[in-house]
Structure 1
Amino acid sequence: MMKLSVIAFLTLLAVGCNKDDDSNNDNGAADGELIANVDGNEFKASTQVGATLYAGTFNITAIKPSTGETIVITVSNASEGTFDLGPDANAQSGAIYMISGQDAYGSVGEGGSGQIIITKLDLDNETASGTFSFTAVHQIVDGNGVIITETVEITDGVFNNITLATTIPGGNSTLEAKVDGNDLNADSVTALKITFGGNTNIVITANNNTTNQNLSLSFSDNLTVGTYSAASDYVGMYNPSLGGGTNNYAAETGTLTITAIDLTAGTVEGTFSFTAKRLDPNDPDVTYEITAGSFSAEIQ
């Protein structure tokens, strides 16, 4: 099961902040709305859609509230123009379709393809518009060890005057960890409360913006001070080179210890360690040991 990248999580901060103007563009999307067809079925997001442009990387994330379906598109070195979303795209570009945060279909895998045309990046008015389509694939391994590929077609995608955030949310959050004995050296750390399907999680993400390493922790806001197990109680994710929804390694074993949490004040502290293994059978079959982890976060 793939998880949203840190950029997509940050994009969710813009959700619900779009303009109230209901005027339509020539392609049928109202202001602040993203529409598309998913295997011929309507996808429309107007209250849960947002876009970001951080350090040249554009991301748009949209959620259909009634089903939990999610579309995430990321473009590196973004500008107004046409960009490939398929396997030959830039390493930090691609598109993902998910259902309630699970069963991720990606455009950058074998058999995937796609294109986004960014028609407007208005930094003065902080809005973005464009069109897109992509073919996304999802692979599972059956009980006999056979890889089965499933495909979803996203067509006629349009987004119109979506609110565009260009500043990463502030805060004094810190996260330290070692990856195979080497310091992560995160230079940006963000803690968010994210709600999917009625469940609210605290998601802490840390980036090394030089190496593009990304590490994230996700756990229920119902957890209290104590020690918890990986997979069953919390999700730990590591990406050695963030981009395009690929090369995600998830905690298979490990522990998370919450030493302090105050949801009223919006703070949480703790320690963690985990062993991360690949999610996608097409990714390199390596294991990462995440040790000496600690965090002190201000929840946005």
Structure 2
Amino acid sequence: MKTIKKLTFLFFISLAIIACKSDDDGGDNPSNGEGSLTATVDGNSFESDPSLTQIQILNNGNVVAITGPKAQETIQFNINGYSGVGTYNMSPSNVASYGIVTDPNDPQGSAVAYVSISDGELNISEDTGSNMKGTFSFVGTNAEDPSDTVTVTNGAFNIDY
């Protein structure tokens, strides 16, 4: 349970950073890349904002963070022990999450994070060193209410970095 709470905290920090970036009127930051991240979330279409969708390579290439925000929603992956093209199963080290703010007037009080640490996978089919492509699916669980889940299917991404 501590792991889920820590991951939820990290998710909300990431969501706050993305929200701040979306308020920036300074134009595009070419170092952030651009791309697409699409999925079906509980039967509803999800398509990220291309200008905010990004991949970060951290810790000497061992960690990959993929973020695809859309208005008040975000799909995010954190892969530890990244070793290139391949399949990464969700685990305490490889985490997928879906977050939503249900009331934009109360972003803190209405934010819900659905985290997957066991039920899902991220398939990276191509990594050129400046672009990454792949597919994904996962079931995320609300850390505050384990009976509340979301199913993310038909996920695909193609992101420059």
CA distance in 2, matches of 1:137, 1:107: 6
CA distance in 1, matches of 2:115, 2:80: 16
Alignment check: 8 A CA contact 2:53 2:67 kept: yes
Cross-structure match for 2:88 = 83
CA offset at residue 3 of structure 1?
A: 3.0
Encode CA deviations 1:1-40: one digit per residue, 9 max, x unaligned: 823359957x957988545xxxxxxxxxxxx211000001
- Report SS of the residue matched to 1:133: strand
Amino acid at match of 2:38: I
Cross-structure match for 1:40 = 43
Is 2:116 the partner of 1:107? yes
Alignment of 1:167-182 (within 5 A): none
Cross-structure match for 2:25 = none
Alignment check: 8 A CA contact 1:94 1:107 kept: yes
More relative contact order, 1 or 2 (CA 8 Å, 6+ apart):
2
CA distance in 1, matches of 2:44, 2:12: 28
The count of residues paired between Structure 1 and Structure 2 equals 133
Normalized per residue, the structure richer in helix is 2
CA distance change for structure 1 residues 148 and 93 in 2, over 3 Å: closer, same or farther?
closer
CA distance change for structure 1 residues 7 and 93 in 2, over 3 Å: closer, same or farther?
farther
CA offset at residue 128 of structure 1?
A: 1.1
Amino acid at match of 1:34: L
TM-score, normalisation: structure 1:
0.40
Alignment match of 1:117 (pick from 123, 141, 158):
123
**What's the % identity of the aligned pairs?**
29
CA distance in 2, matches of 1:128, 1:39: 25
Is 2:9 the partner of 1:3? yes
Tell which structure's C-alpha radius of gyration is larger.
1
Alignment of 1:1-300 (within 5 A): 2-4=8-10, 8=14, 12=18, 17-18=32-33, 32-45=35-48, 46-55=50-59, 56-65=62-71, 68-78=72-82, 79-85=84-90, 89=91, 91-100=92-101, 102-108=111-117, 112-123=118-129, 126-140=130-144, 149-160=147-158, 162-164=159-161
CA distance in 2, matches of 1:104, 1:96: 7
Question: RMSD in angstroms over aligned alpha carbons?
Answer: 2.8
Amino acid at match of 1:155: T
Alignment check: 8 A CA contact 1:82 1:117 kept: yes
TM-score, normalisation: structure 2:
0.71
- Report SS of the residue matched to 1:4: helix
Normalized per residue, the structure richer in strand is 1
Structure 1 stretches of at least 4 aligned residues deviating more than 6 Å after TM superposition: 13-16
Alignment check: 8 A CA contact 1:133 1:155 kept: yes
Q: Which runs of 5 or more structure 2 residues have no equivalent in the other structure?
A: 22-27, 102-106
